[in-house]
Amino acid sequence: MRFRFMPVAVMGLAFVLAGCAVTPPQQPLAMQPTSLKADAGRIGVAMSTVPKVDTQFPGAGCLLCLAAASAMNSSLTDHVRTLPPEEVPALKDRAAALIKAKGGTPVALANALDVNALPNFSGDAPNVARKDFRGLKDKHQVDKLLMIQLDTIGVVRNYSAYIPNGEPKAVFSGTAYLVDLKTNALEWYHPFNVTKAADGNWDESPKFPRMTNAFFQALEQGKDEILRPLQ
Amino acid sequence: MKRAGLLAAGLLMVGVLLPSARADDELALRWSAQAGAKPTFRGVLNKDGAGMGAGGMLYPAPGLVGLFAAVLAHAAVNSSVQSAEMRKLQEKADEVLKPYSGALDAIAVDDLLTQTRVALAPQGLAVRPGWVNANLELTPVFLMTQDRRAVLLDVAAQFHDGTSGRPRQLGMRVVSDPRAHPAEGQDDWASHEGALKKVCIELLARAVRHMLDSVDPARPAPAPAAERTVRFTEGGALRMERSKVLEQRCGRALLLTLSDTLMSVPLSNVAALDAECNAAAVPAPLAVAAE
């Protein structure tokens, strides 16, 4: 009688633990010297939509906290929204030019690629893309895909409810990776998260010159993160 | 015989004092009271990783007044934690100066100013047309990079041309040319008396020259330049500054930053070296960095 509920309990525990299991994050993969050469075939170069340059206040969780954080930083937000994501939209073409300089055959895909719209890839083998990119092989007549996924461009200020946890920082983050479209295997995986603080006092409304400088520093450093491995 | 001796001693004294004496047609170079009796040196601080991550906070306070008090207490605690963190970061950054404490102690303000005047001679401090009893008061801070390959000078200055009532506020940063990485136990900035002082004098002289040029009414305004992100070397590291390039020659650039202050930096790109600057004119450490 005592053991009647044991299988149910074990099954329940297994169910809970399975629910808690998280796929480990993809670790960075270095670019192989031969990955972009002529015999690599046609290499598609795609980029996500360039995110809107804006401010974010993570940690200001409740609605009132977010309203307070937004109000407290409204002048900064107004300014940040005027900053251009200079040369970021041209990253795809610059990447294609670098592949060509290495002897490869780049094909820049005309439109922005929404990776979230792709189907999931079944299987949990290491160093394989979580989304199924294989359908792009025939669609674009390419053998590999160099994807530049941009996540955040702008300024982030961490909060703890109503109170800022520090100065705002300029941020440029995303991931660049190369997928073999035959196997969906990753041949390069390079997440980047460039964070730059203002050199000196950041709070100089309305033009925030030091914060603006940090923003362009982050952009420049982020562009290097993406393009340097292709050189 | 005694008279001749006195005369000779008098002439000798005049000869010794002459280099530091200021001619009437020279601008007065002063050290501000705020700058302190000794030159200020610090380690270059990187704040990119400073600050706490995002996080939630529950305020177990009854009523609106209680909530308000809890938020205020939270703000006070957060502020003191952040101040303490910045102090700790600066203390850690300043540790880079430890091997140079002897050399830094030997640098006296008067000597620094005198040597800067000498470095600027013969025309650097000449009074420009339109100036009457002009003076420039400096509040400098010297910073050393963490790799010990470069010194930066941040200088705030007040320029008084003697004609207008209010002094003009100026600001400039000068980054020294990077030196080769010092070998263990062979760091001439620490071991050779005057080596670090020489770098400081060069930086001060460069800053004074550029700041005076910027307020010279007879000097033509610089050609309008587009704003761009300029890459330069700060010790062994690559740095960037959003700015307008006012002048570019011999591997260095004079920038106008977004804060409307001047910045003189060694460029990171060897292609930036002008054809007119022959290799001999380029300081050896810069040539190494540019390779």
What mean pLDDT do residues B18-46 have? Answer: 81
Domain count, chain B: 1
| DSSP code, position A131 | B
Comparing A192 with B6, the larger pLDDT belongs to A192
**What is the b/e burial string over A110-145, where b = at least 16 CB atoms within 10 angstroms of the residue's CB?**
eeebeeeebeebeeeeeebbeebbbebbeebebbbb
Flag whether residue A26 sits within 8 Å of chain B, measured between CB atoms.
no
Q: CB count, 10 Å around CB of B290?
A: 19
Is the residue at B47 inside a domain? no
ipTM of the complex: 0.85
Question: In terms of residue numbers, what domain contains B258?
Answer: 25-42+95-217+227-290
Is the residue at B56 inside a domain? no
Residues from chain B that touch A167, judged by Cβ atoms under 8 A, are 47, 50-51
| Cα Rg of chain A, angstroms | 22
| Average pLDDT, rounded, for chain A | 91
Of the pLDDT bands very low, low, confident and very high (cuts 50, 70, 90), residue A193 is very high
Comparing B234 with A12, the larger pLDDT belongs to B234
pLDDT at A13 over 70: no
Inter-residue contact A23 to A181 (CB < 8 Å): no
Rounded to whole angstroms, the Cα distance separating B153 from B265 reads: 11
Residues from chain B that touch A152, judged by Cβ atoms under 8 A, are none
- Least confident segment among A89-93, B21-25, B81-85, B229-233: B21-25
Rounded to whole angstroms, the Cα distance separating B86 from B51 reads: 9
pLDDT at A71 over 80: yes
Residues from chain A that touch B70, judged by Cβ atoms under 8 A, are none
Residues from chain A that touch B90, judged by Cβ atoms under 8 A, are none
Is the residue at B139 inside a domain? yes
What mean pLDDT do residues A96-109 have? Answer: 95
What mean pLDDT do residues A75-88 have? Answer: 97
> pTM to 2 decimals?
0.86
What mean pLDDT do residues B220-247 have? Answer: 92
Inter-residue contact B32 to B133 (CB < 8 Å): no
Cis? peptide before B122, omega within 30° of 0: yes
- The three-class DSSP label of residue A17 is helix
Phi/psi of residue B14, nearest 5 degrees: -60, -40
- Least confident segment among A76-85, A91-100, B76-85: B76-85
Is the domain covering A25-230 a CATH 3.40.50 domain? yes
Comparing B119 with B122, the larger pLDDT belongs to B119
- Closest CB from A165, A198, A221 relative to B52: A165
Give percent of chain B above pLDDT 70.
84
Distance between alpha carbon A12 and the CA centroid of its chain, in Å?
Answer: 36
- pLDDT of res. A28: 95
Is the residue at B20 inside a domain? no
pLDDT at B290 over 50: no
How many Å lie between the alpha carbon of A138 and the closest alpha carbon of chain B?
40
Task: Output the six-digit token pair for A177.
Answer: 């990776």
Distance between alpha carbon B124 and the CA centroid of its chain, in Å?
Answer: 18
Of the pLDDT bands very low, low, confident and very high (cuts 50, 70, 90), residue A24 is confident
Half-sphere exposure of A4 (CA within 13 A, CB side): 2
Across the A:B interface, residue pairs with CB atoms under 8 Å apart total 88
What mean pLDDT do residues A153-165 have? Answer: 95
> Of A115, A172, A193, which Cα lies nearest the Cα of A149?
A115
Is the residue at B273 inside a domain? yes
Flag whether residue A31 sits within 8 Å of chain B, measured between CB atoms.
no
What mean pLDDT do residues A83-102 have? Answer: 96
Q: Which residues pair with A191 in a beta bridge?
A: A175
Predicted confidence (pLDDT) per residue in B2-23, tens digit: 555 554 554 444 444 443 445 5
Rounded to whole angstroms, the Cα distance separating A183 from A43 reads: 14
Q: Minimal Cα distance from B82: which residue of A?
A: A166
Rounded to whole angstroms, the Cα distance separating B211 from B159 reads: 9
- The three-class DSSP label of residue B63 is helix
Q: Kindly list the domain boundaries of chain A, sorted by start residue.
A: 25-230
- Least confident segment among A104-118, A214-228, B25-39: B25-39
Task: Output the six-digit token pair for B277.
Answer: 């600057």
pLDDT at A155 over 50: yes
Flag whether residue A207 sits within 8 Å of chain B, measured between CB atoms.
yes
- pLDDT of res. A14: 61
> Of A161, A166, A164, A168, which Cα lies nearest the Cα of A60?
A161
Is the residue at B71 inside a domain? no
- Closest CB from B52, B71, B260 relative to A158: B52
Say if the Cβ atoms of A219 and B71 lie within 8 Å.
no
Say if the Cβ atoms of B57 and A196 lie within 8 Å.
no
pLDDT at B291 over 50: no
> Of B186, B23, B196, B34, which Cα lies nearest the Cα of B105?
B196
Q: Which residues pair with B266 in a beta bridge?
A: B252
Predicted confidence (pLDDT) per residue in B201-230, tens digit: 999 999 999 999 999 888 888 787 899 999
Rounded to whole angstroms, the Cα distance separating B14 from B153 reads: 33
- Closest CB from B47, B49, B258 relative to A209: B258
Rounded to whole angstroms, the Cα distance separating B21 from A203 reads: 43
Rounded to whole angstroms, the Cα distance separating A97 from B180 reads: 34
Flag whether residue A213 sits within 8 Å of chain B, measured between CB atoms.
yes
| Average pLDDT, rounded, for chain B | 84
Predicted confidence (pLDDT) per residue in A107-123, tens digit: 999 999 999 999 999 87
Rounded to whole angstroms, the Cα distance separating A82 from A126 reads: 41
Residues contacting residue B208 through CB under 8 Å, at least 6 positions apart: B29, B116, B120, B124, B125, B136, B138
> Of B218, B152, B148, B155, which Cα lies nearest the Cα of B29?
B155
- pLDDT of res. B52: 75
Say if the Cβ atoms of A209 and B54 lie within 8 Å.
no
Rounded to whole angstroms, the Cα distance separating A221 from A170 reads: 11
Is the residue at B200 inside a domain? yes
- pLDDT of res. B271: 61
What mean pLDDT do residues B85-108 have? Answer: 95
> Given the structure tokens 């004092």, which residue do they identify?
B17
- pLDDT of res. B17: 41
- pLDDT of res. B285: 36
Predicted confidence (pLDDT) per residue in B135-191, tens digit: 999 999 999 999 999 999 999 999 998 887 789 999 999 999 999 998 888 899 998
Is the residue at B163 inside a domain? yes
Q: Minimal Cα distance from B85: which residue of A?
A: A166
pLDDT at B93 over 90: yes
Cis? peptide before A206, omega within 30° of 0: yes
Q: Minimal Cα distance from B67: which residue of A?
A: A162
Strands B252-257 and B237-249, bridge-based pairing: antiparallel
What mean pLDDT do residues A157-173 have? Answer: 95
Between CA B109 and CA B115, with CA B111 as vertex, the angle to 5 degrees is: 120
Of the pLDDT bands very low, low, confident and very high (cuts 50, 70, 90), residue A66 is very high
What mean pLDDT do residues B94-120 have? Answer: 94
